[in-house]
Every structure is written in C-alpha cells, then in structure tokens.
Structure 1
Amino acid sequence: MTPTQLRAYSAVVRLGSVKQAAHELAVSESAVSLNIGQLRKELGDQLFSRTAAGLAFTPGGLRLASRAAEMLGLQDITVLEVSAAGRGRRMLRVGASSLFAEHGAPGLIELFASRADDLDVELSVRNPAAFETLLLTRAIDIAIGPLPTVVSEDAVLARPMMNYRLVLVAAPDHPLAGPRPTLVPSPRKPLAAPASPPLPASAGRLREQTWLLGPSAAASSEAVQALLHRLAIPEDHQQIFQSHAAALEEAKRGKGVAPAPTFAVAPDVRAGRLVQLAGPQATVEAVWHALTLAEKGAPSAASELARFASTPRAIQAMMRGTGVNVGHFKPSVHVTLWS
C-alpha cells in the first residue's frame, strides 16, 4: 500500500463520500476509486460498502482507518525530521498528558526552545499509560505527565518534575461557593466585609454536582481521574469537553464545578470570576514527572529538558504560561493531537 492510497482512503473515511474526498484531494473520483480498489485487492477486504444511509465499513475497514491515520501522521513527522536534519536542526518529540499539555507545556517548551536556536519541538497529547511503550518504540523522546502505574526502572528513567495541587472551582454564585460577602459600615473603616469562609464541600454534595471536565478525565494515572474515583462521581454527572479551558469557561457560567491546577485558575480566582471550593475533599496533591529512556551516553535534548524542567526558572515558566509574542518566537513548535 502507498501513501497515496492511504490518503485517499483516509479522506473517504473522514468525509463519508468518494466525491467529497476527490474534491478535497483535487483529483478525479475515478482516481480515488482506483486507489480504494487497489487497497481492497492487496488486503483482501471490501473495506466498505454503499448503503442508503451512507458508507458501511467492515471490521477490517475500520481497523485500516485508524492505521491509515497513524501511518500518514508518521510520514508527515518523518518529512519534518528529515527536513530539519538537512537544515542542521534537532528535533525533540515531547509526549504529554492532556492536563500538562494544556496548562504546563506552553511556558516550559517556549522557555526551553528559546535556549537553542537549532531546536524544533513537537508536542503531542498522549495517554500516560502508553508513555513507556512510546519511549521504547522511539515514537517520542520524552514523556511528561503523571507517573504511570507500572514503569520498568531498568528501561525508563522517571524524574519528579513539579508538584501541583488540583482544586475544584465554580462560579461565585454556585451553591457550594458559600455566601457572597456583604459590605457593612464599620467605625474604623468606611466599609468592611465580614469574612465568613464557605463550609467545606462534603463528598455527598460534590457527588450531586455537574462536573465539567477536560480530556484528562478519561486518561489513566491523571489526578482528575483519581479525584473522580475517590469521590465516586456518577458518570451521568460528568461532562467532558475537548479542552480544560472549555470546561472552565462553562464553570464561570455557573454550569457546574471544574477541577484544575491552582496556578492555572489563580488569575480567575483573584479577579472573582471563579471561587475555589473549600475542604480536603475538593483538593488533590499530585506530581508531574519527566520520563526518558535510561540509556547512557552523551546528553540528548530529551535529557536536557528532563533536567531543566525541575529548575525554579522552568517551574515559574510553567505556572505563568506563555508570554512571548508569536512573531518573536523563533524555535518551531509542532503540535499533534492524538486520540
């Protein structure tokens, strides 16, 4: 099978139509049909058939659909790597958990890449459970996120990188946020706010809430998933969004509660757009780790990043996020989202 055949098949799967696939690829419908026919002959599988409701894929056709996307992605990555090597540049492939990729990676990668003019960084979102396999198969150079449940110490070196606290936040008028302070006259001050902190949120009350979650809720080893399991939050009370930022926006609108690292929501909490819920049930202490292959030899970009990530300067960058204008950002950063 050739990349051209896989690209044609992937377009048909994504668009659900040979005609639309041909239009997107800027080729004729007969060319797309020819590539599909060659795949069917080589694999001995019909792959899909036309029905009144659209295309119906065989089990083999569904399997090829996922593999085609992976192989085309690897081809694109290889082109980037070869091109970078030809220009005398290095490529660092970072695999990160979704929570770290969204909240910690931007500041860290920007700062680290700015230290080397010959370095290109590719960031992809990965499931922490697959970190070791991805490292051993050389699919990524370094993994950053929660420490997987099982790690082969002789094959993978895991370094604690950053401690953080996961908290629950909600809109100021949420029932669990507590009463809003009322300004009253005071003999010494024109106005004073009686500080009556909200009561700690109990596990029972938290189970009753709508939980607004990002992709990390579905990933193993993540602190978000640990919090959900600890409180036994029913699945019908969970709403998972494409990003953690989207979940927090819904929380600001009073749609429910959302978990997030304290440093990520600190600006909104200070501005009064969000309120951090009180109580030990609403917090989790967690650690992000940097994982690399435990191989001896000259320091690589992956090892350099693993060491640099635990420095005070790097931690400050992760907490503050990216702050450099895109036009002044020289090192290339390629972002790939993987399901």
Structure 2
Amino acid sequence: MTPTQLRAFATVVRLGSVKAAAESLDVTEAAVSLHVGQLRKELGDQLFSRTGSGLAFTPGGLRLASRAVELLGLQDRTVLEVREAGAGRRLLRLAASSLFAEHAAPGLIGRFADRARDLDVELSVHRAADFEQLLVTRTVDATIGPRPATTEGVVRSTLFLNYQIWAVAAPTHPINRATPAPNVLRDQVWVLGPAAAEDSGVVPAMLHRLGVPESKQQIFQSHAAALDEAKRGRGIALALSFVAQPDIARGALVQLPGRLTQAQGSWNVSILGGGRATPAAEEMARFVTTPRATQAMLRGRAIAHGRFKPAVHVTLWS
C-alpha cells in the first residue's frame, strides 16, 4: 500500500468518480483505476462498486477512506515538519472560529510566539462543525472555539475562557428609546460579522432565538466592520463584551437591555488525545489557560499587527 495508491483512492471517495479523481490528480483514468485495483488485490476487498446513482462503498472501503485521509495528512505534515526542522523552525497549525480569530488570536499568538522564537503559527478560520475532522485528519494541530462533538479520548478539549455577546447600537438609534420587545428587535436591521453565517454558535443561536429574518441581516467581511456600521447608526450589532466596552465607555455605542440581547459562550482549546498531539500543540494547550494568555487575548486589539506578522500565516477557509 503506497501513498500514491491511497491518494488516488481518497480522491475517488472525495469526488465520487474515477474520472473526476483523474482530472484532479492530473493523471489518466487508467492510472487511477490501476491504483485502486492494486489496493483491492492487496486488501482483498472490492472497496466500492458503480451504481446508477454513483459509487457504493463497502464497509471496508469506508474504513479505508477514513484511514487514507488520516495517513496522507500525517505524511504531508511529516514532510513539512522535516523541512521546518531542517531550517531550525517548528510549525503550529491552528484552526479557530471567526470570532476568536479576529478579536483574541492576535494577542494570544503574539504572546505565544514571544515565548517560542523557533515557532511559526499558521492560523486558519473554520466552522466549528469541522474541528474534529481537521484534528483527526491532522490537517491542523489544535483548534480554538466551541468544543468539538467527538468520541471521548479522540480529542482532548480544555475550556479556558467564557465570554459574553451583547447587542449594541449607536446612542442615536431609535431602538434605545425603551427596552425593546422581541417583535421590535425582529424588525430592525442587524449588521453582523462572519459568525452570523455559520451553522452553529452563540451568534446564530441569538438570531434564531430572536427570530430575526435573513432579510434583516447584513453580514460584513469582519466583525469590526459590522461594529463600525452600528456606530454609524445603520443597525444593531452583536459584539464581544470586551470588544464593545471601550466604545460603550466613550459613548459611541449603547448596550441594549434585556435577556434576549445577551448570551454567553465559551472558548476551548482542542488537540488530539491519547498522546498523539504534537509538542507545539501541547505547549499551546498549556499556555492558553494561563493568566498571561488571558490578558493578552482580552487586550489583543492593542497589539500591533506587525509585531507578530512574520511568524503567523493567516488563511480564511470558506
């Protein structure tokens, strides 16, 4: 069983056809079929068969598909680690929710990179629903955000910070004239960051609880951009309390009163369990729970981007 065979099979599984896999890998269909045939012969399993509605996988084929992705991810990561080690560098691949990545990651990574000068951090933004798969396939080394729903022992999660989300608006916004009723809130324009477009999380849960229709939601490329729109009186925003507090203190924003206009969430750091996490991931999991890390996260906006830019690579994943 070779990496080339596994990559061919994994691509067939991902794309659903030999033809599509061949195009993706830039090889002939005959080459893909040959690799799959060699796996079938070695493993004594048909792996999949063609049906009128696509490919039907055997239980063994499904098991191989899962293992192939994990093995290929480990191979890619090993190659990367060897190259980094040859250059005297280590790499930590960190996946985070959009809220954390925008508002807390700068401070955390800046402080963490100061402690480990030989470490580069690659930060990417993902849906929380994908965290477990990203860890299991070793696409990333650690995730920060909601706790992944996973089998005990597969992923080790540690809660390190509870946070609050507040509904805020400009002082001149008409909504501030009285405690807003649910039906009044539903009729307002809501200016929102990327977290509102996710399938789950504190922000989508708040919007669902309020019954805000999609027609009333304006989603911007960042939470900061949405907050700026709120300051201009163009709608209601949902913001982290520690982000909104300075603007509230200056009188640029007002927190809306009421139980429906606030919610609590939590950030967890998650790594592979059973001693399978990388040393860098273990270091991050320990550091993120320290008071120094918490202070850095809550003051993240004050840390200049240029301070940690050379050690951090940011990727936005749709």
Q: TM-score range by the shorter chain?
A: 0.7 to 0.9
Q: Secondary structure at the match of 1:114?
A: helix
| CA separation of 1:285 and 1:314: change in aligned 2, threshold 3 A | same
Q: Are the aligned partners of 1:119 and 1:331 in contact in 2 as well (CA < 8 Å)?
A: no
Please name the residue that 1:132 is paired with.
Answer: 132
Structure 1 residue identity aligned to 2:165: L
Q: 1:101-150 CA distances to partner (integer Å, 9 max, x unpaired)?
A: 111111111111110111100000011000000000000000101224x2
Q: Which runs of 5+ in 2 are unaligned?
A: 1-22, 31-75
Deviation at 1:295, TM superposition (A): 2.1
User: Could you tell me which of 250, 269, 285 is aligned with 1:306?
Assistant: 285
1: CA distance between counterparts of 2:306 and 2:208?
43
Structure 1 residue identity aligned to 2:150: V
Query: Are 1:337 and 2:316 counterparts?
Result: yes
The number of residue pairs the alignment matches comes to 255
Q: Secondary structure at the match of 2:196?
A: helix
Please name the residue that 1:202 is paired with.
Answer: 181
Structure 1 residue identity aligned to 2:132: E
2: CA distance between counterparts of 1:140 and 1:214?
24
Q: 1:260-279 CA distances to partner (integer Å, 9 max, x unpaired)?
A: 11001111111111111111
1: CA distance between counterparts of 2:82 and 2:302?
30
1:1-339 correspondence runs (5 A)? 42=28, 83-148=83-148, 150-178=149-177, 199-296=178-275, 300-325=279-304, 328-329=307-308, 332-339=311-318
| CA separation of 1:117 and 1:202: change in aligned 2, threshold 3 A | same
* Greater shift in the superposed pair: 90-99 or 271-280: 271-280
Deviation at 1:83, TM superposition (A): 4.3
Deviation at 1:319, TM superposition (A): 0.9
2: CA distance between counterparts of 1:243 and 1:101?
10
1: CA distance between counterparts of 2:247 and 2:81?
39
Q: Tell me which stretches of 4 or more aligned residues in structure 1 moved more than 6 Å.
A: 37-41, 76-80
Q: Secondary structure at the match of 1:255?
A: coil
Q: Are the aligned partners of 2:153 and 2:274 in contact in 1 as well (CA < 8 Å)?
A: no
Q: Greater helix percent: which structure?
A: 2
Q: Secondary structure at the match of 1:160?
A: strand
| CA separation of 1:257 and 1:224: change in aligned 2, threshold 3 A | same
Q: 1:212-240 CA distances to partner (integer Å, 9 max, x unpaired)?
A: 11111122332101101111111111111
1: CA distance between counterparts of 2:182 and 2:24?
58
Q: Secondary structure at the match of 2:205?
A: helix
Deviation at 1:201, TM superposition (A): 2.6
| TM-score, normalisation: structure 2 | 0.73
| CA separation of 1:170 and 1:328: change in aligned 2, threshold 3 A | closer
| CA separation of 1:270 and 1:38: change in aligned 2, threshold 3 A | closer
Q: Secondary structure at the match of 1:334?
A: strand
| TM-score, normalisation: structure 1 | 0.68
Q: Are the aligned partners of 2:176 and 2:256 in contact in 1 as well (CA < 8 Å)?
A: yes
Q: Cα RMSD between the aligned structures?
A: 2.9
Q: 1:270-317 CA distances to partner (integer Å, 9 max, x unpaired)?
A: 111111111111000111111111122787221221222122221111
Q: Are the aligned partners of 2:141 and 2:277 in contact in 1 as well (CA < 8 Å)?
A: no
2: CA distance between counterparts of 1:127 and 1:249?
24
Structure 1 residue identity aligned to 2:89: R
